[in-house]
Structure 1
Amino acid sequence: MEEHPLSLYELNALVKRSITTYLPDTYWVQAELSDVRSNYSGHCYLEFVQKEPRGNNLIAKARGTIWSNVYRLLKPYFEEETGQAFVSGIKVLVKVSVEFHELYGYSLTVQDIDPTYTLGDMARRRREILKQLEEEGVLTLNKELELPLLSQRIAVISSATAAGYGDFCNQLEQNPYGFVFYPRLFPAIMQGERVEQSIISALDAINAQLDNWDVVVIIRGGGATSDLSGFDTYELAANCAQFPIPIITGIGHERDDTVLDSVSHTRVKTPTAAAEFLINHLHDTAEVLEDYASSILQAVSTRMMREKTRLSRLVERIPMQTLMRLKDEHYRQERVVKQLETALQSRLTKEKHHLQMMETQISIASQRRLVKENHRLQLLEQQLKAASPEHLLKRGYSITLKNGKAVTDASVLQLGDELTTRFAKGEIKSVVTQK
């Protein structure tokens, strides 16, 4: 035993002096946030962790502190720059000083943060999700749907109390053309950890009454940019990409598109921009219909002139004596002819309106049928691929063949039978030696 043993406090003090001496500077450290919390005084206490590159096991951990004078500046700066809340689970690059306290032990005090590192990690995760959706063949399914000509029945996914929802409805109602829209709210949580599941539940509710809607609009107004991470998830993106009617997003940001924006049919910046898009789309449809109506009226007018000219030529061929006999009859029937022309014009107008209504109904029914059948065929194609032998082999299964036929029951085999076992890549030969 040493002559002068150290007390625990003396040993910790020695460690503290050593750290102060040999690690006097600040250091930029890459780590993942864990257990982030702040108290009444405004200080933030957290843990920094590092996991195995190909697993979830921790290989390093350190207690961290952000004092209130730094935290009140650092947190809003980070969230504004990244659009990501300063919460557990994100990767950060922080500038720290190394501290050691005789009572509380080793810790890292945060002095600064580099948002560009987190932005890079978020962008990587977005790319990975989009790549997975592309490999599954669903990335552009919603974009390939045709927006109905008369997109007036609108299923709106938003928070019931959001200002953006009110702005959206007011914009539709006060459109300068007098168009009538039929929006209905499917409430969802648009910020926080429950965004993904809440929106998926709203989509399920809309899908249950799909024939009632022409388009889905997902809008969010007035929220913080730090709440956008909920729109960058695989499950939400996969649901939206495969939804059978067009989805329009307007979740109130101007930065790079979220994953949800990337898979939706149309992305706009704000709820009012989403309303403006629908108004303009209906206006374009109305102009096309007006062109059709003008063409029909022009064709009728041309036909009337042609028939009037033909009638005049026929009259000229009638002998004069006959014309004299018919003169009195002509005057008597002149009023009847005018009445017939008026009735014909009225009938033509009515038939033209009927024709327009039939064209609209046929177009809507055809488009809706085509969209449903196309989506059904795509789902069947995915199911067939998933059930194919080649797909099962790639997942690690194998097929044992005897004389070219699959063996499903070992009792049919005899000693000495030659077997072929086929894998996803290659095959092997074997002989039954024991049963």
Structure 2
Amino acid sequence: MAPATYQLSDLTSFIRRVFALNLPEPVWVAAELAQVNISRGHCWLTLVQKEAESDAIKAQLEAVVWANKLRELQGIHGLKMTKGLLQQGMSVRLRVSTSFHERFGLRLVVEDIDPTHTIGALERRRQQTLESLAADNLMNRNAELPLPVVPQRLAVISSDTAAGLADFREQLEGNPYGYRFQLRLFGAAMQGAQTSPEIISRLREIRRNWPDAFDAVVIVRGGGGRTDLAAFDDEALCRAVAEFPLPVLLGIGHETDETVLDRVAHKSLKTPTATAVFLVERLMQAEVRLLQLGRGVLSVGTHQLSAATQELNRQASAVRQAAGQSLLHEHHRLDRLAGELNQLPGRILSTANDQLSHYEQLLAALRPETTLARGYALVSQEGRLITNPDDLVEGEVDVRLKEGRVKLKMQGRGLPPPTE
């Protein structure tokens, strides 16, 4: 007997009745949101369950939150909380009913959301990330980097449409001190599943292409609930910030909740505005320190100038006194030399007279007449004084005595004959 053949509509009607009979009441289901899309006010979800070891998808179903139910849930749990829960990558616990449509197939219809499940899962992941970073000594690595005294060249990572970015810019550009900041925006998602990979990509871009162009990196976004900040607990993002070679300042718009990224950044501020205020105040503090140093330099310079002036005056007085004493001494010396100079010609003349008298006496003693008076004679021959008998030659010899002259005739080598 041939097996029965059913029309497709008959089979789908049968399946719909099976689901209606076996799942008459909504049930709670835990899953991960693989995709989230909003269309015409409805929220379309892809729910998955992954293998713990490999992240391979073990089960998958489509679900929907109808627009009227979405508004109801937003009224119950809050708009921000609901939007934060219904994000790609979130672990959720949903109260669902089954809906099987003959044309569109099986779909789960979301009736309620359990925020505590998602927040609990986020907290567990947060603690795991903290433990992993602490084990690798990354919690304080970025905080230990020196932040420049005047950080003015800033790489800003944010969504170009974020309200927080506008607040940040306005606060910096309108600061009352006239400080100038150089901002370069690196656009990235600030909410949802793409937040972590896009921020990591921007950090890599800055590190690769502009390693020395910036003083610091600033990550800012607008406000949000706890689930909106889930991306900032991502371990890969936190590691990228912790290991970044520049100080990373964080202003992601939360007042009470603290993300892991807050813990590893160089400095975390509550809001983008607070981040801008911090930067402006840092420059103001640097200016105050500079002015204090200037006043200190002026004070020290004035003191040293005063001391140097006093020393110069003292030395000038000493020079004037020494010059006066030297001039007085020189005046006395000149007076003494003038007196000596006045006496000098007389002494020179007296000395010269004494020398002259001495020379006259010596001359008188050495005159031939004086010698002749003592009985000596001067013997000369042919105009030459004879001092050695061997010098005599034949001929006339002149002998000079005190009282006259005697002419002698020299013959041979004997005594000359006497002459009158």
* Fold in common (TM above 0.5): yes
Q: Does 1:72 align with 2:44?
A: no
CA RMSD of aligned residues (A): 4.1
* C-alpha separation in 2, matches of 1:106 and 1:83: 25
One-letter amino acid of the counterpart of residue 67, structure 2:
S
Give TM-score, length-normalised by structure 1.
0.60
Which SS does the other structure have where 1:216 is aligned? strand
- Give the residue type in structure 2 aligned to 1:248: L
* AA of the residue aligned to 1:110: V
Residue by residue over 1:273-320, the C-alpha shift from the partner in whole angstroms, topping out at 9 and shown as x without a partner, is: 221111111111222222222222222222233344445656389669
- Measured against aligned partners, the alpha-carbon deviations of 1:163-196 in whole angstroms (never above 9, x if no partner) come to 4334323322322223232222333343444333
Paired residues for 1:37-52 under 5 Å: 37=37, 39-40=39-40, 42-46=41-45, 48-52=47-51
Structure 1 match to 2:152: 152
Letter in 2 for 1:129: T
CA deviations 1:69-107 (Å, max 9, x no partner) are 212232584662377351344222233456778998876
Residue 209 (structure 2) pairs with residue 176 (structure 1) = no
CA contact (8 A) 1:78 1:113 kept: no
The DSSP-based 3-state class of the residue aligned with 1:281 is helix
C-alpha distance in 2 between matches for 1:158 and 1:17: 48
Whether 1:133 and 2:133 are equivalent positions in the alignment is: yes
Letter in 1 for 2:300: A
Q: Distance in 1 between matches of 2:212 and 2:103?
A: 67
2:93–2:117 contact (8 Å) kept in structure 1: yes
Q: Deviations over 1:345-404 (max 9, x none)?
A: xxxxxxxxxxxxxxxxxxxxxxxxxxxxxxxxxxxxxxxxxxxxxxxxxxxxxxxxxxxx
Q: Is the 8 A contact 1:96 1:112 kept in 2?
A: yes
Matched, 1:302 2:298: no
What is the CA deviation profile of residues 207-257 of structure 1, one whole-angstrom value per residue up to 9, with x for unaligned ones? 222222111112224789865444343332222211111111222233423
Q: Assess if the C-alpha contact under 8 Å between 1:164 and 1:221 holds in 2.
A: yes
Residue 243 of structure 1 corresponds to which residue in structure 2?
244
Output the CA distance in 1 between the equivalents of 2:123 and 2:16: 44
Q: Cα distance 1:167–1:9, how it changes in 2: closer, same or farther (>3 A)? A: closer
Report the Cα offset of residue 58 of structure 1.
Answer: 5.6
Aligned residue runs from structure 1 range 265-414, under 5 A = 265-310=266-311, 315=317, 322=324
Q: CA deviation digits over 1:130-150, x for unaligned, max 9?
A: 332333333322111011112
Residue type matched to 2:69 in 1? V
Counterpart AA for 2:250 = T
Aligned positions, number: 318
Gaps (5+ residues) in structure 1?
327-435
Separation in 1, partners of 2:44, 2:176: 54
Alpha-carbon deviations, 1:30-72, whole Å to 9, x = none? Answer: 33335555554x4445454444444545666666453432122
User: Contact 1:82 / 1:118 at 8 angstroms: preserved in 2?
Assistant: no
Q: Do the aligned partners of 2:85 and 2:115 also contact (CA within 8 Å) in 1?
A: no
- Match of 1:212? 213
Are the structure 2 counterparts of residues 306 and 10 from structure 1 closer, same or farther at C-alpha, using a change threshold of 3 Å?
A: closer
Residue in 1 that maps onto 2:259: 258
8 Å contact from structure 1 (residues 142, 243) kept in 2: yes
Kindly indicate whether the alpha-carbon contact (under 8 Å) linking 1:218 and 1:248 is maintained by their aligned counterparts in 2. yes
Q: Judging changes above 3 Å, is the alpha-carbon distance between structure 1 residues 272 and 59 closer, same or farther for their aligned structure 2 residues?
A: closer
- The range that moved more, 25-34 or 95-104, is 95-104
Distance 1:167 1:100, change over 3 A: closer
3-state DSSP of counterpart to 2:140: coil
- Looking at structure 1, the residues matched to 290 and 13 of structure 2 have their Cα atoms a distance apart, in angstroms, of 90
TM-score by length of 2: 0.62
Q: 1:300 to 1:126 in 2, by over 3 A?
A: same
Q: Give how far 1:124 is off.
A: 1.7
Residue 427 of structure 1: aligned partner: none
